[in-house]
Amino acid sequence: MFVWVGLSFRQHGISNDEYVQHTYGQMLLDWYRTGFRDDDAFHYRNLYLYGGLFDIVAAWLEPHTSLWVWDLRHLLSAGFGLLGFYGVSRFAHLLGGLRLAVLSMLLLFLTVSWSGTMFTHTKDVPFATCMLWALYATALVVRDMENVSGKIIVLLGLAVGGALGLRVGGAFAVIYLILLVIWRVWLDHKHQHTPVFSRLWRMVLVLLPAAVLAFVFMAICWPWSVIEADNLLEAARAFSHFDFNMQTIVNGVVYNISGVPRSYLFQYLAVKLPEASLLSLFAATVVCLFGRQHLDVADTTTRLTMHTLLTGILFPLVFVMDDRPALYNGVRHFTFLAPLLAILSAWAIVAVWQAIGRGQWQSGNTCHSLWGQAIWGGVMVGLMLVTLFDIVQLHPYQYVRLNRLVGEQQAAQYKWEGDYWSSALREAAGQLNAKKLPPQSHPYWVAACVDTPQIEPYLDKRFSVTRRWEEADFFLSTTNMHCHEVMQGQLIGGAKRQGMWLSVLKDRRKLEGNARMGTPAKN
């Protein structure tokens, strides 16, 4: 994984929010450097509603490395992604040992909403990593209760503080912890008649150092959150009613982001998860419903770990169904579910394998059980290889992958959000730079269906980005949401994978009159 990151972190484009995020990180550093006098960070757009853990680290590292700042950010984001892989291995090992740990990491790699996004989703992947480690620490707390070690307390405080130091959604981690501690106390009271209220009070005292550490770490990364007593609540209110004029698409239907159906996240999970994960989760559900006695009778620790894992998955899904927040970019805002679903999918594969081995459907016939396990294993390996084949062909834009539930891929790419982060424009810009063009006294004007800071750093001195698109000599665009159809021109390049254009480069120099004017996108 380290070798893969080292070879590929320079291949990704600047994402939509990166310029403003990095500026925010620099402003936070200025606040500290000026002795808390320069408070521009607390008035910069709406960035003050976010924590700056990632951005302040990236801004601090920038002058201390020779890496280009955008490649530095992508390498740092990938580092969080690798820490997520390690967190998955520890969580899965706690649930089912080494075999489950390895299988979980493999499924996480095949989940393109993680492995394809870990370089460029510099808000979502670090947040997801912190949430994963917070849930893992919660599982250890619920396992040990009053006997929890100081090491776990520190891990819990840093993970929760880091999550809150990125976005207010880190409060989910606190809710998980409270619910699961209460659940463990109730279970012990039910089976062992232990006291409830006195034990809850002891747990408050045990967890108090973690709470203090989390608060301090959050305050360092997100100072705005503690400057006023109600700032955290203001951030929570802002994100629960977050809305602006933007559209998204799901299964070919276009919605305003505040009007997406309750099923939006579920539909995107269904088409973004690898096929092996979907089939294993479905098969394990069938086994649990109709043949639960054939599953392993887990010990108390394993059951509590599974309860923790399911809480981390189900609570956000119920929240989405109930609160109906504004959603867009597919599963991006719920990237923190990807590692947990990888663990659950790996567990499901093993559980179905074991159920077949116990003669779930073969009336105890050993030969049939072995054949059943061979078929199940073969299907899983085959589906994983299909996903891996797609990842290799789509690289480095594998996060656009849709699984086979969507049918024919070239048609399906226009029914779902594709390269919404515009990463493929880097390749198209490189092709434009390679063009041999006649010299002229003024620059060639380039229109781009993207924020100017995302494309400008990739163009050489012959080109200048313009917002007056009708005057542009060249047009660069992703194909996401049909933006490439807004302007006419001769197609002379772009990024193409598996027969799909992910970005296009159009030459507009010969166009005249109305042909130079833009037309609205289909959506």
**Which residue in the block uniquely carries the two structure tokens 């419903």?**
289
| pLDDT tens by residue, 87-103 | 999 999 999 999 999 99
Between CA 342 and CA 329 the distance in angstroms is 20
Which tens digits make up the pLDDT trace of 358-405? 764 445 566 778 888 999 999 999 999 999 999 999 999 999 999 999
Question: What confidence score (pLDDT) does residue 295 get?
Answer: 56
> In the prediction, which pLDDT does 226 show?
95
Percent of the chain with pLDDT over 90: 86
User: What residues does 249 pair with on adjacent strands?
Assistant: 254
pLDDT above 60 for 238: yes
Residue-wise pLDDT for 469-491, tens only, equals 999 999 999 999 999 999 999 99
Structure tokens at 240: 């629960």
Task: Enumerate long-range contacts of 400-408, CB under 8 Å, 24 or more apart.
Answer: 400/112, 400/116, 400/502, 401/112, 401/116, 401/272, 402/271, 402/272, 403/271, 403/272, 403/273, 403/274, 403/275, 403/278, 404/275, 405/270, 405/271, 405/275, 405/278, 406/271
Q: How far is CA 144 from CA 160, 173, 175, 309, in A?
A: 19, 18, 19, 16
pLDDT tens per residue across span 186-229? 999 998 989 999 999 999 999 999 999 999 999 999 999 999 99
Q: What is the pLDDT of residues 459-471, one digit of tens each?
A: 999 999 999 999 9
104-127 mean pLDDT: 97
Q: Does residue 508 carry a pLDDT above 60?
A: yes
Helix, strand, coil share (%) of the chain residues, nearest 5 = 65, 5, 30
| CA gap 304, 206 in Å, rounded | 19
Tell me which H or E stretch contains 454.
Answer: helix 452-455
Q: What are the sequence ranges of the domains in the chain?
A: 16-239+246-350, 425-516
Q: What is the pLDDT of residue 370?
A: 87
User: What DSSP designation does 12 have?
Assistant: -
State pLDDT tens for residues 307-322.
999 999 999 999 999 9
Q: Which of 429, 460, 423, 421 lies closest to 447, judged by CA?
A: 429
Where is average pLDDT lowest: 25-39, 78-92, 242-256, 482-496? 242-256
What is the pLDDT, as a whole number, of residue 2?
A: 94
Largest CA distance in the chain: 86
How confident is the model over 243-257, as a mean pLDDT?
90
Instruction: Give the whole-number percent of the chain exceeding pLDDT 70.
Output: 97
Q: pLDDT at residue 260 above 90? A: yes
Distance between CA 498 and CA 184 in Å, rounded? Answer: 50
Q: Greater confidence, 370 or 164?
A: 164
Angstrom distance (rounded) from CA 478 to CA 489: 14
Q: At 292, which amino acid appears?
A: R
pLDDT of 514 higher than 60: yes
Statement: residue 148 has pLDDT above 80: yes
Q: What is the pLDDT of residue 74?
A: 98
Q: Report in angstroms the alpha-carbon separations of 205 from 136, 171, 201.
A: 20, 20, 7
CA-CA distance, 327 to 447, in Å (whole number)? 28
Residues paired with residue 497 on neighbouring β-strands, in sequence order? 500
pTM: predicted TM-score of the whole model, two decimal places: 0.95
Residue-wise pLDDT for 55-75, tens only, equals 999 999 999 999 999 999 999
Q: What is the pLDDT of residue 350?
A: 94
Q: What is the DSSP letter of 7?
A: H
Has residue 296 got a pLDDT over 70? no
Residue 255: how many CB atoms within 10 A of its CB? 16
Strand partners, 13: none
- Is it the case that residue 50 has pLDDT exceeding 80? yes
